[in-house]
Structure 1
């Protein structure tokens, strides 16, 4: 059982640590201290639901509907492009109030919808959570503890992003720092959108 748990922890950890749309968004919200624990919690919950669904055979249904993934691919490109333009616009314009926790704060509903967007409109998420990770899990002695390990990796990682980003916020209250943060996040979102558009799900 311990081996299955550690395999799930390491496999999932290796996949989600790579910078992606979810990570960039959660980190940006954490640095700005804008409902970042809600954002991180939604990412954790989504991963756990998808890991579990994948282990119970949803992956087979997904493979039978490649058209659905193609639709999600282009929805993801549009949504990530929109987020990239917003971040780059903030980088160019600057902010009227730049200190962490101050200024114009998005509503909780807006953050929830954006988090669900970067999670559920990215087809790569489904390939990782419904296909790749369950494929490894199916080879384990105990699939339940494998899913528990994979879920633990998601909880630890997004918890670290939310906590670490908010801890950094007091040191990033200068206008130039915020412009750089928004610029980097915008470029990352744009790069992910272009990669998804050009390379598809390869």
Structure 2
């Protein structure tokens, strides 16, 4: 049975989990780009951050409790997730590229954020769960956690802390930069950058799948 040790060992494990999580999560990927765009127009940002944090927490602790074993039993799951991710990212890259090459005002550009709460939450879950890099990060965290023995739940808690911190940075950043996006050109630059990020990720995943 797992227990948290009331000692410096648990604190060390938590700090290690936090540092490791920040190293893995603090990148501008598909999920981050989606959060920034929704946050800029203040479209269900809190709900999106909450669902992303919840999913991260569930799968980080699940990895510590045995998610790795499930993947080893059904290795084909990795390939299914990878190709769903390729299609999902390629589609979103195309949509972002189309917005980037159109001449639109800031208000009209803002309409391309996911308007409904349900749609936004489903999109956030998709950007999380259909990203093979997410699963790789989860597996890495699960493997590292086991080196902390009885304190591995503290390590997992640290990784969840890192996830929450990064999500808060994204949320705060989107609010901070919102005034700059009154300029239509800023939206085109953002969509161009998002299209490039999504397309690059899709190509890299496809190459991994074909290797």
Contact 2:33–2:194 (8 Å) recurs in 1: yes
In 1, Cα distance between equivalents of 2:22 and 2:38: 21
Q: Which residue of 1 aligns with 2:7?
A: none
| Cα displacement string for residues 65-101 of structure 1 (whole angstroms, at most 9, x for unaligned residues) | 1211101111110011111111111111243x41499
Q: CA deviation at 1:36?
A: 2.0
| Cα displacement string for residues 130-153 of structure 1 (whole angstroms, at most 9, x for unaligned residues) | x10011111114012111111000
In 2, Cα distance between equivalents of 1:62 and 1:79: 22
In 2, Cα distance between equivalents of 1:55 and 1:201: 30
Higher helix share: 2
- The reply on whether 1:184 has 2:171 as its aligned counterpart is no
Distance 1:157 1:67, change over 3 A: same
Q: Which residue of 2 aligns with 1:53?
A: 62
Q: CA deviation at 1:104?
A: 5.8
Contact 2:15–2:155 (8 Å) recurs in 1: yes
Aligned length: 200
Of residues 139, 148, 151 in structure 2, which corresponds to 1:140? 148
Contact 1:5–1:149 (8 Å) recurs in 2: yes
Of residues 82, 100, 125 in structure 1, which corresponds to 2:134? 125
Aligned-pair Cα RMSD in Å:
2.0
Contact 2:109–2:184 (8 Å) recurs in 1: no
Structure-to-structure mapping, 1:151-162, within 5 angstroms = 151-162=160-171
Distance 1:57 1:186, change over 3 A: same
Query: Where in structure 1 are there 5+ consecutive unaligned residues?
Result: none
Q: If the length of structure 1 is used for normalisation, what is the TM-score?
A: 0.92
Query: Where in structure 2 are there 5+ consecutive unaligned residues?
Result: 1-9
Contact 1:123–1:201 (8 Å) recurs in 2: no
Q: Which residue of 2 aligns with 1:27?
A: 36
Contact 1:30–1:162 (8 Å) recurs in 2: yes
Distance 1:180 1:101, change over 3 A: closer
In 1, Cα distance between equivalents of 2:108 and 2:101: 18
Q: Which residue of 2 aligns with 1:166?
A: 175
